[in-house]
Structure 1
């Protein structure tokens, strides 16, 4: 199975792995493609194993990353997913090797993950197995994993503003999402908004549309996050059960 790099020339005729057949997420799927087309101009990489499934890796230089990171000359893994029947076949290693090859002139690679495997995050066990180490932390459970290729380089860090784990607005539900993921548009704007209306809870939804907005996040995560009364509830798309536990 070969690795295929998406570009502005082939993206219209190629699927982007996630939400392939989920009609509910069609708008988000198209918005993700539009986001990719813009970011390709900034050197953004979307590499996938050429199969119909979720087997891909996305990465970009730290200078062009939307994540709240401080550092230079490192590659940042955005999304890294190998699922279903494609697990256990060496596809994850193959995709990581492609990222390493594209980072050969850089000082290393970093990835935002967690204390354990969480949805939409790179598996920390996989990162550790391939030589990554924890280089910074942010509340409540974020870990910045790093791998140096230049031993004299200084590892990147989380921005101080992204370490609190709390949202300034503590009135009801506050959600942040970006179109870096095709699922977010539907699950945030449709399901979460409907949930808040049904429970009669104030809701604020923020669509992260720029690097500046991403770097101003209170947590080092831009795909999807939901806060309740200022506290981070979940990074998952379906957060009703998480919220019900808090709301009662």
Structure 2
């Protein structure tokens, strides 16, 4: 495989695509929000590595200590997203990106790499069956079927923060926790706001805008989480059809 990958940096961020949403130079609110979020994370050791082409081929990971997820552990890397979509699939890009992440973690003296998974694969989470081929295994679980997968280099293991297993909040209305790590988030937020306004459905939107808030969340989280009637529902970015199903419960 002959491919050139590049890492986003504070110097090239403004000019590079973030791969999730392929656009022309016309501004896109999700991409702009993502780049603003990334600009503050890159200086913390966050890595966004992508194929140097107009394609959805990238990996995104960060030191667990500064990763905006309710997962804790010593000296780990958290893998937010590994995505190869469309025509580039089947060309070895996913393998190249995963191997880069694992080699980078070892070179930095990390204890291992971890990621969010589930007993049943979720559409907005990285392919856990692919990760398990590299030795990732389930090291923690929640009552709602989510799993923490980890590949340990030295025997140490990460775990969900205590709050992540609560899966309950006091608010009864439809409640969305979100940050701008994913460029699809702003569009989903606007769509849900319009739907709830049209239908008269109470909606609470809670922006996770700090590392502390992310680590103390009452559920698992990768950049999005949905509650209804006080119960945690999903980390999937939901559309209006999904919301209608939730409301009928």
Alpha carbon RMSD of aligned pairs, Å?
1.8
Q: Of the candidates 54, 67, 70, which is equivalent to residue 68 of structure 1?
A: 70
User: 2:121 is paired with a residue of what secondary structure?
Assistant: coil
Deviation at 1:32, TM superposition (A): 0.6
Matches within 5 A, 1:155-174: 155-170=157-172, 172-174=173-175
Residues of 2 paired with 1:228 and 1:25: CA distance? 33
Q: Where does residue 191 of structure 1 map in the other structure?
A: 191
Deviation at 1:222, TM superposition (A): 3.8
TM-score by length of structure 2 reads 0.92
Q: Report the CA distance between 1:192 and its aligned residue.
A: 0.7
* Cα separation, partners in 2 of 1:144 and 1:197, compared to 1, 3 Å: same
Instruction: Verify the 8 A CA contact 2:21 2:56 in the aligned structure 1.
Output: no
Deviation, 1:44, is 0.5
Q: Give the deviation of 1:23 after TM superposition.
A: 10
Which digits, 9 at most, give the CA deviation of each residue in 1:2-40, with x for residues without a partner?
121110111111100012239998112111101111111
Secondary structure of the 2:87 match is helix
1:128 is aligned to 132
1:111-169 CA-to-partner distances (Å, cap 9, x unmatched) read 1111122122011111111210000012312110000112xx32010011101223331
Cα deviation for residue 89 of structure 1 reads 1.4
Which deviates more from structure 2 when the two are superposed, residues 202-211 or residues 235-244? 235-244
Which of 5, 8, 19 is the aligned partner of 1:6? 8
Q: For the residues of structure 2 that align with 1:175 and 1:223, how far apart are their CA atoms? A: 10
Count of matched residue positions in the alignment of Structure 1 and Structure 2:
244
Looking at structure 2, the residues matched to 133 and 25 of structure 1 have their Cα atoms a distance apart, in angstroms, of 40
Residue correspondence of structure 1 range 44-193 to structure 2 within 5 A:
44-104=46-106, 105-150=109-154, 153-170=155-172, 172-188=173-189, 190-193=190-193
- Residue pair 1:79, 1:122 contacting (<8 A) in 2 also: yes
Q: CA deviation at 1:54?
A: 1.3
Distance 1:22 1:221 in 2: 30
Give the structure-1-normalised TM-score: 0.92
Q: Which runs of 5+ in 2 are unaligned?
A: none
CA distances 1:57-87 after superposition (whole Å, capped 9, x unpaired):
1111111111111211111101111111111
Structure 1 unaligned blocks of 5 or more: none
Greater displacement, 13-22 / 139-148: 13-22
